[in-house]
């Protein structure tokens, strides 16, 4: 059985809480906003890197992946680190800038 | 003030020529020290001096996207907009390769489609090396013709989006351009001729042997196959010889090899005669149809092998014979196999279609679309 399934069952068993959709910790949806009119929702895996996320955003917005810069306040996210390591959760909003 | 385009400059593709470079990159160039110090008040002549000092090309590099001097000079050219003949002079000059590339790049940005093809295609023959600065700050090796190819085929180079030009085929069909004649065409033709001549020479020695051996119809009807076969035969021989020579040369001197080669050639001729005799026997037998032919061949083959082993000349015969035997075997076995596979294959195909690895056939259309995009980008499908 996949680990996510065992987690779900544990939850239901321990607290009697119903599983609510995307809490399986594998796929998540991130919102990127550039405050100039571009707001993009991207579905991705938690083990995707920021570079992969940039490619997905580029495909949706039409800019080039190399030009995109993803930030959270003053933290510029690096290309080779995964979303899981940055603790980016489902539904989180990120800032979209261009370089 | 220093950043305004020359008021006498024409607009390119409907806009200020400097707008060919996008806003962010433009601002980066204006803030660059090289631009501020060296590119102030440049004219066409002084620009040439600066261009001669270039030693690498590239777009932006580093974490904060610093532009290279090459970029700054391209920007300057867009600002002052030199005449077309000056740009062509840049391209035609042979001494300074970076000046050439600079001119080519500028022409690609501002020139008409026909001009672009006409002036950039001759540069395909330039094989000189260039130094290119990559986005991480390191240098890479590239060549003039590679860069020209990028300019003509891709739509993004050195961090500038290149304007769209019509494809060569379209221009040819309109008639503005002639079909492309590669300089290598003459070389290819020469090589083809050489090959044909070699094969014809090689055939005089090996013709009889090959024909009898495979029991084929007369020479005239199967020219091409023969040529191909002799070619293959020659290659195999060469490989064998080469390996043997290489192994031997390592251990001992070369003089002995020469002697051995001479001996080998003499042996080969003797073997060829023997082969022809044997094969003539075989052909008479082949005239009788049926499996008896096969059996006899095998028997003869075994006898021949024994003979060879006795004399210690197993080389070419057994190999070529086993090849022909293998071919016969393959010829027979292929058909029954295919028949057996028939009913199984469609079942396997159906199974595969039902379970795609991409997840592009997920019932939820959003997820299916997302997976399609991910597959196109080379990413794994979404984990659900």
pLDDT digits (tens, 9 = 90+) for B98-116: 999 999 999 999 999 899 9
- Edge-to-edge strands of the sheet including B139-143? B57-58, B129-133, B139-143
With a cut of 60, say whether residue B225 has pLDDT above it: no
With a cut of 50, say whether residue B237 has pLDDT above it: no
B366, B379, B384: residue with CB nearest A26: B384
With a cut of 90, say whether residue B315 has pLDDT above it: no
With a cut of 90, say whether residue B138 has pLDDT above it: yes
**What's the pLDDT at B44?**
85
Distance CA B276, CA B374 (A): 64
With a cut of 60, say whether residue B263 has pLDDT above it: no
CB of B136 less than 8 A from some CB of A: no
Task: Look at residues B76, B70, B66, B78 and name the one whose alpha carbon lies nearest to residue B53.
Answer: B70
pLDDT values of chain A reduced to their tens digit, one per residue, 99 residues: 566 665 555 555 455 544 455 455 688 999 999 999 999 999 999 999 999 999 999 999 988 898 899 999 999 999 999 999 999 999 999 999 998
Task: Look at residues A42, A4, A51 and name the one whose alpha carbon lies nearest to residue A23.
Answer: A4
Residue pair B211/B219 in contact by the 8 Å Cβ criterion = yes
The alpha-carbon gap from A26 to the nearest alpha carbon of chain B, in Å, equals: 6
Interface test with A, best of B21, B159, B369, B383 (most A CBs within 10 A): B383
Residue pair B120/B104 in contact by the 8 Å Cβ criterion = yes
Residue pair B119/B111 in contact by the 8 Å Cβ criterion = yes
Burial B262-297 (b: 16+ CB within 10 A, else e): eeeeeeeeebeeebeebbeebeeeeeeeeeeeeeeb
Going by the DSSP 8-state scheme, the letter that residue B275 receives in this structure is H
Neighbours of A48 (CB within 10 A): 24
Distance CA B11, CA B5 (A): 10
Coil vs helix vs strand at B290: coil
- Taking an 8 Å cut-off on Cβ atoms, the answer to whether B24 and A45 are in contact is no
Average of pLDDT values for B11-21? 84
Confidence class of residue B249 from pLDDT cuts 50, 70 and 90? Answer: very low
The sign of the CA dihedral A37, A38, A40, A46 is negative
Distance CA B4, CA B135 (A): 28
Burial group, residue B250, by CB count within 10 angstroms (0-12, 13-18, 19+): exposed
Residue pair B296/B304 in contact by the 8 Å Cβ criterion = no
Q: State the SS3 of chain A.
A: CCHHHHHHHHHHHHHCCCCCCCCCCCEEEEEEECCCCCEEEEEEECCCEHHHHHHHHHHHHCCCHHHEEEEECCEECCCCCECCCCCCCCCCEEEEEEC
CB of A26 less than 8 A from some CB of B: yes
| pLDDT one-digit tens code per residue, B275-304 | 555 555 555 555 555 555 555 556 665 666
Confidence class of residue B27 from pLDDT cuts 50, 70 and 90? Answer: very high
B24, B65, B382: residue with CB nearest A45: B382
**What's the pLDDT at B198?**
85
B296's tokens: 């006899």
**What's the pLDDT at B195?**
87
With a cut of 60, say whether residue B216 has pLDDT above it: no
- β strands within B109-165, DSSP E: 129-133, 139-143, 156-157, 160-161
**What's the pLDDT at B316?**
47
**What's the pLDDT at B86?**
93
**What's the pLDDT at B194?**
87
Least confident of B20-24, B146-150, B267-271: B267-271
Contacts of A64 in chain B (CB under 8 A): 156
Query: From residue B116, how far is each of A86, B12, B94, B171 by CA, in Å?
Result: 47, 15, 18, 12
Query: At which residue do the structure tokens 């600065």 appear?
Result: B133
Question: How many residue pairs from chains A and B have C-beta atoms closer than 8 A?
Answer: 34
Is pLDDT larger for residue A82 or for residue B352?
A: A82
Interface test with B, best of A67, A70, A98 (most B CBs within 10 A): A67
| pLDDT one-digit tens code per residue, B35-74 | 998 878 888 889 999 999 999 999 999 888 899 999 999 9
**What's the pLDDT at B307?**
60
| pLDDT one-digit tens code per residue, B163-192 | 988 888 888 888 887 887 777 777 788 888
Of chain B, the percentage scoring pLDDT greater than 90 comes to 24
**What's the pLDDT at A6?**
58
Contacts of A57 in chain B (CB under 8 A): none
Distance CA B69, CA B101 (A): 13
**What's the pLDDT at B287?**
54
Residue pair A68/A54 in contact by the 8 Å Cβ criterion = yes
Residue pair B56/B132 in contact by the 8 Å Cβ criterion = yes
The per-residue pLDDT of chain B, averaged, comes to 73
CB of A98 less than 8 A from some CB of B: yes
Distance CA B155, CA B158 (A): 10
B121's tokens: 């295609």
CB of A90 less than 8 A from some CB of B: no
- Taking an 8 Å cut-off on Cβ atoms, the answer to whether A67 and B370 are in contact is no
CB of B64 less than 8 A from some CB of A: yes
**What's the pLDDT at B13?**
79
The alpha-carbon gap from B83 to the nearest alpha carbon of chain A, in Å, equals: 32
Region of residue A83 (phi > 0: left; psi between -120 and 50: alpha; otherwise: beta): alpha
Interface test with A, best of B24, B162, B374 (most A CBs within 10 A): B374
With a cut of 70, say whether residue B30 has pLDDT above it: yes
Interface test with B, best of A29, A52, A71, A83 (most B CBs within 10 A): A52
- The reported pTM is 0.60
- Which A-chain residues 57-76 have CB contacts (< 8 A) with chain B? 59, 64, 66-67
Residue pair B285/B331 in contact by the 8 Å Cβ criterion = no
Report residue A17: phi and psi, to 5°: -90, 145
With a cut of 70, say whether residue B270 has pLDDT above it: no
**What's the pLDDT at B134?**
92
Confidence class of residue B254 from pLDDT cuts 50, 70 and 90? Answer: very low
């Amino acid at each position: 059985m996949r680990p996510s399934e065992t987690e779900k069952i544990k939850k239901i068993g321990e607290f009697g809480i119903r599983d609510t959709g995307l809490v399986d910790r594998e796929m998540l949806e991130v919102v990127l906003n550039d405050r100039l009119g571009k707001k993009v929702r991207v579905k991705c895996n938690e083990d995707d890197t920021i570079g992969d996320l940039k490619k997905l955003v580029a495909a949706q917005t039409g800019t080039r992946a190399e030009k995109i810069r993803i930030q959270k306040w003053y933290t510029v996210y690096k290309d080779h680190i995964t979303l899981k390591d940055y603790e980016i959760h489902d539904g989180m909003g990120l800032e979209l800038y261009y370089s | 003030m220093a950043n305004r385009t020359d008021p006498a400059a024409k607009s390119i593709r409907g806009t200020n020529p400097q707008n060919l470079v996008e806003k962010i990159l433009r601002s980066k160039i204006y803030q660059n020290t090289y631009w501020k110090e060296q590119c102030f008040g440049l004219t066409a002549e002084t620009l040439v001096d600066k261009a001669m000092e270039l030693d690498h090309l590239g777009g932006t590099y580093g974490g904060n996207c610093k532009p290279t001097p090459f970029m700054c000079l391209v920007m300057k050219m867009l600002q002052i907009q030199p005449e077309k003949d000056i740009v062509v002079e840049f391209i035609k000059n042979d001494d300074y390769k970076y000046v050439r590339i600079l001119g080519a790049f500028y022409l690609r940005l501002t020139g008409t489609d026909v001009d672009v093809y006409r002036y950039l295609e001759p540069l395909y023959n330039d094989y000189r090396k260039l130094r290119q600065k990559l986005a991480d700050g390191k240098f890479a090796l590239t060549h003039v013709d590679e860069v020209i190819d990028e300019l003509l085929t891709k739509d993004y180079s050195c961090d500038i989006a290149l304007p769209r030009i019509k494809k060569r085929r379209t221009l040819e069909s309109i008639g503005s351009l002639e079909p492309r004649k590669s300089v290598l065409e003459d070389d290819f033709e020469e090589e083809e001729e050489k090959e044909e001549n070699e094969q014809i020479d090689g055939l005089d020695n090996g013709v009889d042997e090959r024909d009898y051996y495979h029991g084929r119809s007369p020479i005239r009807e199967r020219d091409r196959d023969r040529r191909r076969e002799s070619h293959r035969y020659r290659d195999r021989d060469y490989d064998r010889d080469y390996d043997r020579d290489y192994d031997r040369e390592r251990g001992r001197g070369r003089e002995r090899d020469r002697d051995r080669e001479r001996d080998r050639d003499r042996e080969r001729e003797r073997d060829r005669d023997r082969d022809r005799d044997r094969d003539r026997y075989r052909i008479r037998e082949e005239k009788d149809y049926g499996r008896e032919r096969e059996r006899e061949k095998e028997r003869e083959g075994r006898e021949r092998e024994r003979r060879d082993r006795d004399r210690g000349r197993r080389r070419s015969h057994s190999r070529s014979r086993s090849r022909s035997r293998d071919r016969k075997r393959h010829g027979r076995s292929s058909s029954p196999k295919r028949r057996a596979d028939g009913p199984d294959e469609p079942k396997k195909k159906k199974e595969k279609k039902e379970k795609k690895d991409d997840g592009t056939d997920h019932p939820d259309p959003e997820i299916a679309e997302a997976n399609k995009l991910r597959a196109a980008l080379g990413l794994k499908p979404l984990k659900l």
